[in-house]
Amino acid sequence: MTETIIVAVLSLIGTLGGSWMGVRQSNKLTNYRIGKLEEKVMKHNNLVERMVAVEQSAKSAHHRIDELKHGMEE
């Protein structure tokens, strides 16, 4: 009977240890993926900010071109 209990306890320890290691590894992978997604989001946000600046610059350039055209027509 004691052999059965020892085997059961060892099985329990093995099961708990294996489950814990699996959860830990899964958590590491999830954190890694979240980190990579955060990097991509930061790059995207930087691109959006740069595009806003480019659009404003283009708008200003078009406005100046229109003013020059009207100045030449007069």
Structure-token pair, residue 67: 């003013």
pTM above threshold 0.95: no
Report how far residue 14's alpha carbon sits from residue 12's, in angstroms, rounded to the nearest whole number.
Answer: 5
The pLDDT assigned to 74 comes to 67
In a domain, 72, yes or no: yes
Domain that holds residue 74: 19-74
Give how far Cα 15 sits from Cα of 4, 7, 24, Å. 16, 12, 14
The pLDDT tens digits of the residues spanning 20-66 come to 999 999 999 999 999 999 999 999 999 999 999 999 999 999 999 98
Report the domain count for the chain: 1
Q: Which among 31, 13, 34 has a CA at the least distance from the CA of 23?
A: 31
Give the pLDDT band of residue 70 (cuts 50, 70, 90): confident
The pLDDT tens digits of the residues spanning 9-23 come to 999 999 999 999 999
In a domain, 26, yes or no: yes
